[in-house]
Chain A
Amino acid sequence: MTGDQMMRAHAATLPAPEFPNPAWVTPKPLAQSTVAIVTSAALYAVGDDGFSNADTGYRFIERDRRDLVLGHWSPNFDHTGVAMDLNVVYPIDRLEELAERGIIGAVARRHVSFAGNQPDDVATIRLDTGPAAAAALRADGVDVVILTPV
């Protein structure tokens, strides 16, 4: 079994929280939507606080920052892809190009980074830090987020 196969098999055994009445947003047209990225790569900008092991918090990443550090603590995934091209985890340049072409309405002024290695119950990101980050992006006028896992 390869490393990726092993990690996927392990992840599939983890307890899955239930969402009995899931929300559903009918989005406005994409060409009028402001789009943000939410990643679990634990990326943070140089000068910001790094992520501790099992960090349940989040960091904002300003739209123009590209000097991002990978703060994820797991050794069980590839780290070189993002070193070669930030966009393979955080497709900020692709969003800028889509905005220039008018395919999306706008790129959000800031984006959000969490750490993927959360406690199994994911209670904090579900009830505390996740809603706080979402409210902040909504206040920024964000209509759509694309979530990129690590």
Chain B
Amino acid sequence: MSVLAHVFEAAGIATIVLSSVREVAVKVAPPRALHCEFPLGRPLGKPSDPEFQHDLLARAFALLDASSGPVLVDHPEVIEADDQPVACALPPRFDPSLPPAVDEARGLRKAYDRALARRGVTSVGRAVSADEVPHAIGVLHAIANGAEWTAAGIPGGNTVAVCHDIRTYYEEAALELVDGPLPGGRAMEDWFFEQTEAGKTMLGARAAIRDAGAKFAIWFYMTPGQR
């Protein structure tokens, strides 16, 4: 974003960056930056809080009053990403003949459908549709349990895209099931990887693919790096 700020400014447009990594803003020095120490992926800080967002935008637009730059101002509030899983119920075991993660994914389908109906859009679909998510989890389950990953039939042949779709399916469904306040920055990630069968299955498949000698980019980006 800081690079693009220079590019847009050179085209004659005044720019304001909502910085997310302060060191980058210092080094690249865009003309005007409001550094926001907020959860990554939430540059305006608080979802569904128009008052907070308007206050932030007012601080950002105030940077246009400077007569020279670079200008780097810190937003006064720091928002830490949650490090506790969100409280979200999981469906009970229904079909014991299925791998637990496949059964679980099927059980979340109604919640996913409610989310889709409410929002009208989904970010599932990069490699598989919602209909195909249980099958995709079954493939990861097989890999985690010893199947050769190159012959397991990963949908679309893209490990990262499949994992994106599975995790997004779960997270969009879970937003319909959350009990309590809106989840913070990492709360849903923690829930997915620490409490769901699908998350554990994904981690298992990732480890198996890594241990089989696959290229770094094939296995590493299946989950967040710190996992």
Q: A24 → chain B, closest Cβ, in Å?
A: 6
B42 is an interface residue with CB less than 8 A from chain A? yes
How many of chain A's residues have a CB under 8 angstroms from any CB in B? Answer: 79
Knowing A25-B12, A137-B8, the reply to whether A53 touches B160 (Cβ < 8 A) is yes
A60 is an interface residue with CB less than 8 A from chain B? no
B94 is an interface residue with CB less than 8 A from chain A? no
Residue of A nearest to B42 (CB): A81
Q: Which 10 A-B pairs have the closest CB atoms?
A: A134-B11, A85-B47, A77-B41, A12-B23, A78-B41, A16-B27, A27-B14, A130-B7, A77-B40, A81-B42
User: Of residues 23 to 60 in A, which have CB atoms within 8 Å of B's CB atoms?
Assistant: 23-27, 30, 33, 36, 38, 40-41, 46, 50, 53
Knowing A24-B69, A142-B13, the reply to whether A78 touches B42 (Cβ < 8 A) is yes
Q: Which residues of A approach B to under 8 Å, CB–CB?
A: 1-4, 6-8, 10-12, 14, 16-17, 19, 22-27, 30, 33, 36, 38, 40-41, 46, 50, 53, 67-71, 73-85, 87-89, 91, 93-95, 97-98, 103-104, 114, 116, 122, 125-126, 130-131, 133-135, 137-138, 142-150
Q: Chain A residues with Cβ under 8 A from B64's Cβ?
A: 27, 30, 144
User: Of residues 156 to 195 in B, which have CB atoms within 8 Å of A's CB atoms?
Assistant: 160, 163-164, 167-168, 171-172, 175, 182-183, 185-186, 188-189
8 A-B pairs in the complex with CB atoms less than 8 angstroms apart: A2-B226, A4-B40, A11-B21, A40-B1, A77-B41, A81-B47, A88-B47, A145-B14
